[in-house]
Structure 1
């Protein structure tokens, strides 16, 4: 079977900044009027407020979440110009975990390992965070809708996972974007446990799926089997995988062994880091000195962020699309 390995796009999605144009109403509410003419004279004024919401991860000297972050501790530059921070908040996270159950390549990846990785992330989330589960293989299915109670999730992961022989990552990304639509901006996280392989012939084009996931304004975290699968294949096929003229790898993995314990430990370490980053995230807001309304279509704005006190480490995305 021909397998299409997805590009390493996901690394560019992590810690995404979002630009929004908020419409508010200002002015006093008019008193009851005695005539239609008077009511027509009392028009409400519409005020448009532009705001950039920047997810930022903050750690102290020991690599732990810094719970003391304040506006005075952070400097934000947009295209080299310092911005005035309006707010900084640590808010509960909305975490959607996507489980890739396509078992076309089983040298490393299997359902048990995927289950363990999902539980590792969930067990390290903070009180008040909400979580949802989405599995994809032959199709896409919601295993658990949004909840702040995780008591029943181990049983769901134990009994409801259904592996398949197709990869439907693009369709799953579209479903994820829809599930995140009504969650607060800045709190949205997607954790994708995957080997990055998709079977041709799906209902959704990859580029369209990426577009919709980007529009969801979520921070995307990847727990990836990819490098480990590549190493395992190289070990079994000393001559390497056969490549056709189109550059697509063709592999056969019959009778695959259980995953190497060292590889599993590496994956669990990835899961720990994902939960660590989710728990350490703040949302910084600022009104850009250059109005978003003046941006050209597709305009990219570069972001730099720096700590203003010793011992503080910050991490954020390097830029955003203004329009």
Structure 2
């Protein structure tokens, strides 16, 4: 009989499992009337009430949430609303900000055109090639650039031209945009017996509005009739019961008498048209080149403004006058004679004096192709000038004319610059 030790062959006893805690008893849903008291309120979002980490109490029940105490709203301060801010417009911006620093400066800027004996532009000059004299006193240069400037061009069209010459101008107006860039701006004027602003301000040079404005400046021109001061048609050609049918042509009136007939004078208000264009240009920014481009035969008679008044205004506001001469003023020989003026007669070519005084250029052309080419050439010339600058030794503003003399240290070159200027109170920085 074999003895088996105690405990051998018996299963070891397992330890008793830990008691499982009872799950929380199910709770009835919270009525809607109590939702407002909880952390989430309709339309109000989550509140800031503190809750336990498990959301239940020690017995597993959901605690009843309390509505947060209303917070005291601070009393509103008695603040007065000031006036609404003003939107700045252009040059009024410094004044709108509440202050403006004004400093009068004696800096003078001169656009200069240099050509050779063949009329071609001369590039490659440096500041050492130029000398500037103001009132016969040498002025050292303080500024020099050959960079092109954007143009503000006011075109002036003479509508008092003869029919054949006016027809050439009408056909050539479409080529004006070809000599301009998108950075330029144009305004259009016309005149015959008085100046008319066709564009009512400046517009972009490549805008679709420009062809429409130029089309409004087209005119049929005037009919050139020979005056009759002798024969049966002289004096009073139409009579009724022995008297003139029209009192204006009766002998002794404006047309004279049977032996002498006063020929009516032509009206060409060139001065008024240039002055109207200059007033429009005077408000353009200084960073732009201000140019008046005239298409005319240069005749002047009947303007309210005098030549001296207009030139003074141009030289005060740094405006240059360019032009294309047509008609008799563009013909060989007659163009030179038209520059001479007989007393008590009409000026046959006033544009020459304007261009010389302001530093512009004048072309004499006949034919549509030649006129169209002059538009591009003069626009390029006005944009690519040498620009010189210096500080004047004269007082800041004394309203006196200051004579200018620009020279180039190279032989055989022609220099075009304004003959002088008047100081202006607008030159501020």
TM-score normalised over the length of structure 1: 0.61
CA distance, structure 2, for counterparts of residue 319 and residue 203 of structure 1: 25
- Asked whether the equivalents of residues 50 and 287 of structure 1 are also in contact (C-alpha less than 8 Å), the reply is yes
Q: In structure 2, what is the equivalent of residue 190 of structure 1?
A: 292
Instruction: List runs of 5+ in structure 1 lacking aligned partners.
Output: 1-43, 235-243, 251-260
Instruction: Tell me which protein shows more strand as a share of its residues.
Output: 1
Note the C-alpha offset of 1:77. 4.4
- By relative contact order (CA 8 Å, sep 6+), the higher-ranking structure is 1
Does 2:341 align with 1:284? no
Note the C-alpha offset of 1:249. 9.5
CA distance, structure 2, for counterparts of residue 138 and residue 163 of structure 1: 15
- Structure showing greater radius of gyration is 2
232 and 98 in structure 1: CA distance in 2 versus 1, 3 angstrom threshold? same
Note the C-alpha offset of 1:285. 1.9
Deviations 1:93-133 (A, max 9, x none): 11111111113x34x521x3223444434311233111111
Q: In structure 1, what is the equivalent of residue 312 of structure 2?
A: 211
1:301 to 374, 382, 403: 403
Note the C-alpha offset of 1:262. 5.8
- Asked whether the equivalents of residues 302 and 320 of structure 1 are also in contact (C-alpha less than 8 Å), the reply is yes
Q: In structure 2, what is the equivalent of residue 317 of structure 1?
A: 417
CA distance, structure 2, for counterparts of residue 286 and residue 233 of structure 1: 40
Note the C-alpha offset of 1:46. 7.0
TM-score normalised over the length of structure 2: 0.48
CA distance, structure 1, for counterparts of residue 308 and residue 315 of structure 2: 11
- Asked whether the equivalents of residues 85 and 285 of structure 1 are also in contact (C-alpha less than 8 Å), the reply is yes
Note the C-alpha offset of 1:74. 4.9
Q: In structure 2, what is the equivalent of residue 238 of structure 1?
A: none
- Asked whether the equivalents of residues 90 and 281 of structure 1 are also in contact (C-alpha less than 8 Å), the reply is yes
SS in 2 for 1:49: coil
SS in 1 for 2:198: strand
CA distance, structure 1, for counterparts of residue 296 and residue 343 of structure 2: 26
Q: In structure 2, what is the equivalent of residue 132 of structure 1?
A: 187
Q: In structure 2, what is the equivalent of residue 221 of structure 1?
A: 322
157 and 46 in structure 1: CA distance in 2 versus 1, 3 angstrom threshold? closer
- Asked whether the equivalents of residues 314 and 320 of structure 2 are also in contact (C-alpha less than 8 Å), the reply is no
Note the C-alpha offset of 1:173. 1.6
Does 2:377 align with 1:273? yes
- Asked whether the equivalents of residues 96 and 132 of structure 1 are also in contact (C-alpha less than 8 Å), the reply is yes
- Asked whether the equivalents of residues 56 and 314 of structure 1 are also in contact (C-alpha less than 8 Å), the reply is no
2:204 to 121, 135, 148: 148
46 and 156 in structure 1: CA distance in 2 versus 1, 3 angstrom threshold? closer
- What CA RMSD, in Å, does the superposition of the two structures yield over aligned residues? 4.3
Deviations 1:166-187 (A, max 9, x none): 5222221221121011113461
CA distance, structure 1, for counterparts of residue 405 and residue 327 of structure 2: 30
Q: In structure 2, what is the equivalent of residue 16 of structure 1?
A: none
230 and 306 in structure 1: CA distance in 2 versus 1, 3 angstrom threshold? closer
Instruction: Tell me which protein shows more helix as a share of its residues.
Output: 1
SS in 2 for 1:109: helix
Note the C-alpha offset of 1:141. 2.1
- Asked whether the equivalents of residues 271 and 306 of structure 2 are also in contact (C-alpha less than 8 Å), the reply is yes
